[in-house]
Amino acid sequence: MTSRVPVLLSSSSVFPEPTAAAFEMAASLGYDGVEVMVWTDAVSQDAGALRGLSAHYGVPVLSVHAPCLLVTQRVWSPDPWERLRRAAVLAETLGAPTVVVHPPFTWQREYARTFTAGLNRLVTKHPDVRFAVENMYPVRMAGREFVPYQPGWDPTDTGYDSYTLDLSHCAASHTDALRMADAMGPNLAHVHLGDGTGEGRDEHLVPGRGNQPCGPLLASLAGRGFTGSVAVEVATRGAKSRAIREDDLRASLEFARQHLASANPSTPATRVDA
């Protein structure tokens, strides 16, 4: 590893290229590992195929994103608990210590009602995996705002054993990412690195191209006693070529390494506003 905190390439960052391309680019650009977004690409669902890619490119899978997006509600099973269970088994099989999971959608009433208790049962069955609940954001359309998650988009309002902090989602929710990290405290297990402008939508810009405190957040991790990983999750679907996509992913990796290297373990984690 070239940094104390491993920097991963999320396979969602290479979309619309397939999961296999994430391993290829992670290896060529020098990432420490891959976060596999489990989605409709069959390779992302297959432990054997992923193990083969990992071995071929020499890049470990260090995080698994469970299939909890709108477009992945039928991946593996329509039952959200079965999807989360299979994500845990996939992570265990690949040696990945983290499963990223979103809060339940509002229409998943039974799943939402049992979410905390169900996560606790999964932790008992899969003690080597951290189920890191991700902060989301309200949706704004036609001048109106609604929250599609139950009990809400901010997981710290409920409280969980592990969290994923997504900076692009902080921008979309108009949330101070450093204060969110403070609220997550020692349970901050994973970071999704992407930027945003705060325009109310999920942008996943290359870090440094929005107005989020991406650098200060990364630099604060050592002081927070952070022992997880940082996954670059940026949108490159608009890239007109593989070379342009790789340039964005290279810039994201360099940004992460630069700011992680500037960390001072003795620096207080809490933000002090001028």
Query: Which residue type occupies 51?
Result: R
Confidence of residue 19 (pLDDT cuts 50, 70, 90): very high
Q: Is the pLDDT of residue 2 over 50?
A: no
Please tell me the predicted confidence (pLDDT) of residue 16: 96
Please tell me the predicted confidence (pLDDT) of residue 244: 97
How much is the pTM? 0.93
Please tell me the predicted confidence (pLDDT) of residue 163: 98
Confidence of residue 268 (pLDDT cuts 50, 70, 90): very low
> How confident is the model over 3-12, as a mean pLDDT?
91
Confidence of residue 273 (pLDDT cuts 50, 70, 90): very low
**Average pLDDT score, the chain:** 93
Tens of pLDDT, residues 216-267: 999 999 999 999 999 999 999 999 999 999 999 999 999 999 999 987 554 4
Tens of pLDDT, residues 191-225: 999 999 988 688 999 999 999 999 999 999 999 99
Tens of pLDDT, residues 107-152: 999 999 999 999 999 999 999 999 999 999 998 877 788 899 999 9
Please tell me the predicted confidence (pLDDT) of residue 143: 74
Please tell me the predicted confidence (pLDDT) of residue 265: 53
Tens of pLDDT, residues 28-75: 999 999 999 999 999 999 999 999 999 999 999 999 999 998 888 888
Please tell me the distance from the alpha carbon of residue 58 to that of residue 172, in angstroms, as a whole number: 35
Q: Is the pLDDT of residue 274 over 80?
A: no
